[in-house]
Amino acid sequence: MSTMVLNKRLGLRKSLLLFGISSLFLATTLTGCGGSNSDSTSAVTSTTPTSPPTLAIKSSLPHMVSGGSALIEAALPADVKAGETLSVTLNGTDVSSSFKSSSTTTLLGLVSGLVIGDNTLSAKVGGSAATNLTLTNYPISGPITSGPQMSPFICSTGTLKLPDGTTLVATPNDPNCSAQTNVQYQYRTTAGVYKTLTDTKSIPADVKLIKNAAGVDVPYIVRVETATIDRGIAQMTILFDPTKDVEPTPLTPPKNWNKKLVYGHGTGCVGGWYHQGAAGFGYNPMNDTWLSRGYAVVNNTLNHPTNACNNVLSGEAAAMTKEYFVKRFGVPTYTISTGTSGGAIASLQLGDMFPGLLDGALIDATFPDALTIAQSGADAHLLSNYFSSTAPSSTSFTAAQKTAISGYLAEITLYANGNQMGRTDPVPGRVAPTFPGLGNYASAVWNAAVPVSMRYDSNPSAPNFTGARPTIYDVGVNVYGKGPNPLDTTGKSTIGLRTFDNVGVQYGLSALNSGAISVAQFLDLNASVGGFDTDANPVSSRTVGDSGAILRANQSGLLLNGGGGLSAIPILDVSNIYGEDTTNYHMQWEHFAARERVLQANGNADNYVMWRGARAALSPESIVAFEKWMDAIAADKSADPQKTKVVKNKPADLVDGCTDKSTPSQFIAEKQVLGTAGTQCNILWPSGRFPRMEAGVSLASNNLKCQLKPIDLADYKVTFNAADLSRLRSVFPSGVCDFAKPGVSFAKVVPWASFGPSKVNLVFDITK
């Protein structure tokens, strides 16, 4: 095939038009063989060497390629000469024919055939010097940065239902839970339900019509692609008319897609261990809210925290799943991450841990992270244990005193939040303090997919110390590290290291200083509150957290930092779930803590808008407001830093506020602050605090292990007599928390941190 030369710079526009070639293209082409030919090369008369082209990977980071292919953009030099062509090789093999013109200055190519490990992509134009790009490719089953894959791992590929009611065709006896990729079509009917499209050559009579981005009525038909990625099950849905659209590629995306992507995250955390997807997707990709607006929707079963409560792993799965999507359909204008509760945690953490993966977070019922839930839950559980004990001192506390010590607005809320420690408790069937109207404490929560024989049990009569442990520390062992189980006298088993630490914590300090409790009560409480051992059994001594595990929790982002990717994306945080004096454990202080971390890390939180009240993340008001913000950022082509674009393009009417309880449609624009009074929103939606804040920690609650200082009587607004002072020193022999200082092992998040096998940004390798 002859080479087509396109270069209006050299005055060849007239001749090119004779061949039907648009003059909008630059002078570079691909031959059928992918290289330059001798005739066109000899036409070059200039002796000045042409500048080399530039190469950029659009589907992932260059060191995180998966599945053997990568979407590459080649940008042509401004001084390309007539007759010069783009030549691209992969490991010495010509792949130039993969590249097609995508604009007047660039070509786009889906390069396949990458080997596992490092690959060299080389490009040149005519006689220019070569530009080389190293691409490190990993299997589609992973891992890349999440460390050694967990074991056991129970597959769900043959049981998880697809939209048409069938299941994937699983690869037999495959430890990676692989299956054949499945593509099917669903359509939305005029009655508002989805049906399977069995005939792809005709449009059903009952199909619903919706307007695409161009305002044209089109049939509401959805292409559903399901594949196994990173040992999870990924599903992507997108508007697609099989009667008209060609097979999707990055250069031929579905015509009715608005070029925007939503990455949905499921909910929960407890039970999120050792299985592929027994709890389903959590966030259904067949989402009418987004699909009807033209968005594509993507999810992976590992992005449902009830399947995988470890955002180092779920972040890797999200990166690989989005990479797959980009290679199939093209680069989206932007990606919105959304979710409720555990899904809100994922949106914030992945946005921070993996800068550039997500472009905005639309969330509700959020927590900063699972570690913060675990720490506040453990503190509340210790208090619940103490107040429910038979110790004479415990009976002296009134309900009002208990809430003053805990920070919660009701005693039942203290116990409800104490129950959230269950995700760190590996002992099945534990009996724990309860409260009238509150459900039982749930320890060692398992999905039924995991056989009982594989589960950890420290019961002395029939122990299984080598079984899998159902805690956030053990499923995150690649980050936290591991050590011997002190309860296993054989010394053969290991457990995930723990971050919980309460050495030096003065429970009820603010209640003491306000006069809500007496000196004797303060001393009795802190002398008796105790801690937990590695199996979450209550013990009399305080708990010492592992400093290395705490360091890596910070570096990995499993303790939300706020100074990574969250510094440069828009965030709309909606409360939705409210109940500060009920059995609810979605506390408002946790919303404020997440924003406070962004503020601490960046000096401001101007990119973080908070709404309280009756709206949800997927309410029409939330979506319209957030979409307006995202569109304005995407339209900003200035050279400003991304974080500047985010703030300057925030709509003027998108501000903090709350809804009126009696008239939910009425919005009260008002800066949101933590408290129970002082503002209209605080009167309508009062927000309590939490035990460690009453002990002196900041609202950010990102101090897992405090630095200690000597006891200083200036910190107390009460007088200790000699006996009380002696007892205070015996309760805190090493000193008390100095919350004015950063916590022990506090560190910034490492963007795109690796825990193996990738050596790029490697933080920790548990195999070493």
List pLDDT tens digits, range 253-305: 999 999 999 999 999 999 999 999 999 999 999 999 999 999 999 999 999 99
Residue 586 lies in a domain: yes
Is residue 22 pLDDT above 80, yes or no?
no
Mean pLDDT of 712-728: 97
Asked whether residue 565 falls in the same domain as residue 538, the answer is no
Residue 759 lies in a domain: no
Q: What is the pLDDT of the chain when averaged over all its residues? A: 93
Asked whether residue 515 falls in the same domain as residue 658, the answer is no
Number of structural domains found in the chain: 3
Predicted confidence band of residue 36 (pLDDT cuts 50, 70, 90) = very low
Asked whether residue 582 falls in the same domain as residue 656, the answer is yes
The predicted pLDDT at position 39 comes to 36
Mean pLDDT of 5-15: 29
CA distance 337 to 644: 20
Cβ-based burial of 724 (10 A; exposed 0-12, middle 13-18, buried ≥19): middle
Predicted confidence band of residue 625 (pLDDT cuts 50, 70, 90) = very high
Q: What are phi and psi of 403, to 5 degrees?
A: -70, -35
Nearest 5°: CA angle at 502, between 535 and 563?
100
The predicted pLDDT at position 395 comes to 93
Asked whether residue 531 falls in the same domain as residue 402, the answer is yes
Residue 762 lies in a domain: no
Asked whether residue 538 falls in the same domain as residue 565, the answer is no
Q: Which of 138, 173, 198 is where one domain is finished?
A: 138
Cβ partners under 8 Å of residue 657, min gap 6: 611, 612, 667, 668, 669, 670, 672, 681
The predicted pLDDT at position 471 comes to 98
Residue 21 lies in a domain: yes
Q: What are phi and psi of 297, to 5 degrees?
A: -125, 135
Residue 149 lies in a domain: no
CB 269, CB 306: distance < 8 Å: yes
Q: Which of 138, 173, 205 is where one domain is finished?
A: 138
Q: Which of 4-18, 68-82, 114-128, 518-532 has the lowest average pLDDT?
A: 4-18
Q: Which of 122, 138, 154 is where one domain is finished?
A: 138
The predicted pLDDT at position 237 comes to 98
- What are 165-201's pLDDT values in tens digits? 999 999 999 999 999 999 999 999 999 999 999 999 9
- What are 148-167's pLDDT values in tens digits? 999 999 999 999 999 999 99
Query: What is the SS3 assignment for 424?
Result: helix
Query: What is the SS3 assignment for 58?
Result: coil
Q: Kindly report the number of other CB atoms within 10 A of residue 468's CB atom.
A: 21
Q: Which amino acid is at 400?
A: A
CB 591, CB 366: distance < 8 Å: yes
Percent share of the chain, pLDDT over 70: 94
Range of the domain at 421: 371-551+704-737
- What are 415-465's pLDDT values in tens digits? 999 999 999 999 999 988 889 999 889 999 999 999 999 999 999 888 999
Asked whether residue 585 falls in the same domain as residue 664, the answer is yes
Residue 657 lies in a domain: yes
CB 259, CB 326: distance < 8 Å: no
CB 329, CB 248: distance < 8 Å: yes
- What are 322-340's pLDDT values in tens digits? 999 999 999 999 999 999 9
The predicted pLDDT at position 4 comes to 29
Residue 113 lies in a domain: yes
CA Rg value for the chain: 29
Strands (E) in 359-431, as ranges, are 360-364
Tell me the C-alpha to C-alpha distance, in Å, between residue 699 and each of 140, 337, 596: 41, 25, 7
Residue 68 lies in a domain: yes
Asked whether residue 545 falls in the same domain as residue 461, the answer is yes
Asked whether residue 584 falls in the same domain as residue 535, the answer is no
Cβ-based burial of 632 (10 A; exposed 0-12, middle 13-18, buried ≥19): middle
Is residue 561 pLDDT above 60, yes or no?
yes
Q: Which of 162-166, 200-204, 612-616 has the lowest average pLDDT?
A: 612-616
Is residue 9 pLDDT above 80, yes or no?
no
Asked whether residue 596 falls in the same domain as residue 682, the answer is yes
Q: What is the DSSP code (8-state) at residue 119?
A: E
Q: Which of 3-12, 725-734, 738-747 has the lowest average pLDDT?
A: 3-12
The predicted pLDDT at position 46 comes to 52
Asked whether residue 539 falls in the same domain as residue 598, the answer is no
Asked whether residue 445 falls in the same domain as residue 533, the answer is yes
Compute the Cα dihedral for 485, 486, 487, 488 and give only its sign: positive
Residue 617 in tokens = 């993340």
Asked whether residue 511 falls in the same domain as residue 604, the answer is no
CA distance 357 to 423: 28
pTM: 0.93
- What are 213-264's pLDDT values in tens digits? 999 999 999 999 999 999 999 999 999 999 999 999 999 999 999 999 999 9
The predicted pLDDT at position 48 comes to 85
* CATH number of domain containing 12: 2.60.40.10
